[in-house]
Chains A and B, each alone.
Chain A
């Protein structure tokens, strides 16, 4: 039996120009034409863009340029995903090393305040290389283990670059160096906020989901209420929670002693926890609902008790959907924890909002990039876990 889709793909057999490749090539060409780095005399001075050959010694510039052009040509002329993946990765590495080298090359010995930051050309090139890699990875149909390995390699490469000092003259690293202690303290704060609220949501949300699955009467009202909470903007919810928590801190004996305050970590933690409940409860209910009736009947027929059935049959089968809930919560909380800094909750948002306040781009990046990277890594890891847990259960 053939379908319309088959008919539509008939034409794909005839060789045609790869339009995605053309888009990537254009982006790469734009990247080469734009300033590779920007040079600023001080941390917050206006920047001055420098093209590749102005930013690097001729040999280094030629090497980076050659790799980018090779990637450009591959994008248009070669459809082999493995080659495209390799060239995309190579382009990213060349950009990373090139930016670092430009920092070292351009920093004047006598001016410690000068800042060298990656320019628009660098970012566009990074984007083009990332698209080339992503498309190749999609076409290679990388399995969960493959994706985890790719993530591990990326993390190792970035860590290696950071440790080697190759980037030490880039402004972002300079910004980090001047506040390394605070950075790691806030990093831990961030992880505790996001991870702790997730843990609390799992401990409360899972049983709540099981109960909601069993009792139809409370399911809809509960999910409706949680839905409404999800809709409230984080800044609003953080703010609204300050008042009751402040009252608790002042009036409930011992509350202040265990760290409950009107502002700070407590309202942030509580808000993140409340946000986390909907994905946990809803996905538990949907996951359990999705377990085939025949399987449940068979388990019942073999004499499993309600609890045995839940633990040995229903929960394992619902696991992929429940894990999807956990993935949503974790990615969401890593992002939302950034906003917590506004009410004194700490986390990477501290740098981000300070940076916004001082119009210091490097500080903004220092606050914005880590949560982006963390959320992305969490998504990759949990997606792999979901896929592995779902094997053979479809």
Chain B
């Protein structure tokens, strides 16, 4: 989907992005994570040319983005940011319709698309379509921002700290919703965050950046198991690592034959959730059921904790 080769951005004497090479698979969520000033936003913003690269090449779907008009490129790529950037003088519906209108879709098609998206993002059309952004809550504004970014069905969606302005409870839900929507639409997402939890939770692959350089680019499990260097190690946080690791696997992967007492746990729940449930109910093991409710076996405390150890 995206191919970055030798991508470099220099301001003055500093290389904010320094010779980055990266390939992003279509249909996946790739998260770029790093501290502030690591160059992660600049990297993202070069993909839709909000920042012009100093050197290097960017291919999106095989096309060299530097060789097409910037506005045309941007209409084909979705873009959502932390402070949502909704147009304050336009209604929710008009905001969502921005890119389709720029592309000259006909009115009926635009209206239908707006309704579809509002439903997808759980915004009641009758209630919200005519409202102005300042009349919405933070979580609603954020959803409108993402809906607007996806309005013209872009194959690629760029997101810069999209959940940064939300409080923790709403953020968790927004992340889960985004993941679900992505699975349904198959949109390729390139997302920037400074939050390792968010990266592990959302990312099929994670790119860790520091001082303009791409330190490690691998699936989340690999990053946790084999951090490339001290910086990546530090970013993950030693104490949290086993727990991060547990969020990646499901209880289904830890099922062992046998029976246990008490309320059953769902096989689709994460190992982390399973561990929590066991600890809280004071059990050593619990029964596991599938999506259809059929008993699959049991999970044990030791079975889960074994999976929290660093793989060798």
Contact = CB atoms under 8 A, between A and B. Distances in A.
Q: Do chains A and B touch in the complex (CB under 8 A)?
A: yes
B51 interface: yes
A2 B36 contact: no
Task: Report the contact-size class of chain B (Cβ under 8 Å from the partner).
Answer: 10 to 19
B50 A4 contact: yes
A9 to B, nearest CB: 10
Interface in A10-44: 10
B42 interface: yes
A109 interface: no
Nearest to B36: A1
B11 A2 contact: yes
A7 interface: yes
B146 to A, nearest CB: 21
A126 to B, nearest CB: 39
Task: Report the contact-size class of chain A (Cβ under 8 Å from the partner).
Answer: under 10
B275 interface: no
A6 interface: yes
A6 B11 contact: yes
Contacts of A10: 52
B264 to A, nearest CB: 48
Contacts of A7: 50-52
B16 interface: yes
B52 A2 contact: no
B201 interface: no
B276 interface: no
Contacts, number: 16
Interface string B26-48: 00000000001100011001000
Contacts of A1: 36-37, 41
Contacts of B11: 2, 6
A10 B11 CA distance: 8
A328 B265 CA distance: 73
Most B Cβ at <10 Å: residue of A1, A4, A6, A10: A1
B32 to A, nearest CB: 14
A82 B304 CA distance: 72
Contacts of B45: 2
A11 to B, nearest CB: 9
B83 to A, nearest CB: 12
Contacts of A6: 11, 51
Contacts of A2: 11, 16, 41-42, 45, 51
B11 to A, nearest CB: 7
B270 to A, nearest CB: 33
Contacts of A4: 50
Nearest to A7: B51
Nearest to B37: A1
Given A2-B16, A4-B50, A7-B50, 13 more contacts: A1-B36, A1-B37, A1-B41, A2-B11, A2-B41, A2-B42, A2-B45, A2-B51, A6-B11, A6-B51, A7-B51, A7-B52, A10-B52
Interface of A: 1-2, 4, 6-7, 10
16 contacts: A1-B36, A1-B37, A1-B41, A2-B11, A2-B16, A2-B41, A2-B42, A2-B45, A2-B51, A4-B50, A6-B11, A6-B51, A7-B50, A7-B51, A7-B52, A10-B52
Nearest 7 pairs of A and B residues by beta carbon:
A7-B51, A2-B42, A1-B41, A2-B51, A7-B52, A4-B50, A10-B52
